[in-house]
Chains A and B, each alone.
Chain A
Amino acid sequence: MFGNLVFLLTDILIFGLVLCIVSFFVYAMRKPHLRKPWRQVVRKKAGVISIIILSVYIGIALLDSMHFHPVLVNQSNNPGEVQYSGEVLSVLDQMLSNLRMSSEKTYSAPFAAHLYAKETIQLPDGTKQRVYPRLSWGAVHLEDPENQKTADIIKLALIGVIKTFLVWSVLVALLCFYVSTKAKNSFGKTVRSMFSGESEIPWITAVITLAIVLLVLVVGAEWATKYHVLGTDKVGEDVLYQALKSIRTGVVIGTLTTLLMLPFAITLGIMAGYFRGWIDDVIQYLYTTLNSIPGVLLIAAAVLILNVYMSKHAEEFASLTQRADLRLLFLCLILGLTSWTGLCRLLRAETLKLREVDFVQAASAFGVGSTQTIFRHILPNVMHIVLITLVLDFSGLVLAEAVLSYINIGVDPTMNSWGNMINSARLEMAREPIVWWSLAASLFFMFTLVLFANLFADVVRDALDPRLAKQ
């Protein structure tokens, strides 16, 4: 079913990041001082809720990061040979293929059976009439949409609820089973202690959140088999599909930007604080200079230069997707370049403080060298700042993407992103009657991600803050 795989640059980076995070957690689970704050995160309600919701987002982004050239069916001249299309699709595209293929002519409202604009059609008797024509995919199974639609939507929703319940029960049972085997307790006893309201991890909150998330996903999927749940845009593309595709863009920008800036920020920040003297001066001058250049200006210049380069060297890119991907990566890079200074400054200050602390002095009394001191004594003690910044910056960067795309210096216009959706909504809002669903969909998806990323950041900060940990 899948053709040969394509690895876009951002795919490699994002899976690399996932690998790093997973190995960090495997490592952290073995070290009590690292494990403790993360245990605290899962013991807070806000922490549990945001972890569940963020993992749905990240899951979708990861599915959307596995790219391949699909196999071309029925076009091959000789049957033994497999031909691949030049188009690059992701696993998510494959899963949502009915949404991807189901284009309408133009705008249609959520759950609509008809287009949002009148068209002149020719009736069988030859007369012409201006009507709202039926959609070519949405609600085509209904004979009489006006009367049947509500019942049909409710019916689909009910099916969705039943399916949700089944999936949820299985998942909760598996969860209880896992916990009971891990705690080496009997199944019934585990369940009772988990849901008595006195367990350390808020299991009740966890399973309720899981139920709500599943409900939204399954009922949405159920509706999406027959309707455009969030309507269609100007060229008739499904808005839900666009919004889902935009998740990857947001997540990539939010994570890769920080990832790309981390080496600069950590090395330079710690070096400035540890060695002081002229090294500190050079690094300080560097980041004050960078900080005084308006970020938007720098980004605009960089993106425009890249645009010129790409249009001059169009032949270097195998596909439009690859081209858009390079632009996305470049945007991450330039955003990273303008945003490492904050973390660098924090790390410099913390290192300045740490190098005078007794345990670093004790190490130098043993003749421990600079490199070892940095890696063994300084770096592990500033990691909490790095983590907090990483999580806090995430939501800011997702929003930055939206703003930059809005002024046309963000991601490639062919790439799905919330910023691009909002950008196109500029005209839609001025239209009469207005088209609100594109804007609403992108705002809702973005809002949910940013909100829970912020909640998660709060919990992480509380857990990692040494001042709070002491109490």
Chain B
Amino acid sequence: MSNIELSFTLNGKKVEAAVAPVKMLVDLLRETFNLTGTKVGCREGECGACTVLMDGEAYNSCLMPAHKVQGREVTTIEGLQQADGSLDPLQEAFMEAGAVQCGFCTPGMILNAKALLSKNPSPDEEEIRMALSGVLCRCTGYRKIVQAVKNAASESRS
């Protein structure tokens, strides 16, 4: 099978790649673009560690054929930091609230929260928990992660 040529926007930059039809987005990001902040935890869309944003929506990149990103805008955890080094309010909030332990789920958690806040800037606790329920965390018990998202939301509003 021949490779598929594609071009898309990755963390704000136009990029091109040639991928096999069976290539998954997570492998393209990690192997070709060296964006290893996107993690592999289960390869079946259960753990959410491979979450990326596509046109602002959160997706499991382990279930997404790479060629599906043609013409779209993809953001990984590496893309949240501004060029001047400043962090996204969610990244700050995660550190401040103690929402990070081993850190393996953290990129997926932050990107799911990012997708939530872009649609709903004032989510209540239930909405936050629902939005994060696709990402598994074995370390934190989720409480401080939920708190971090609440804090980031009120920070952005004020």
Chain A bound to chain B: no
Binding site for A on B (CB under 8 A): none
Binding site for B on A (CB under 8 A): none
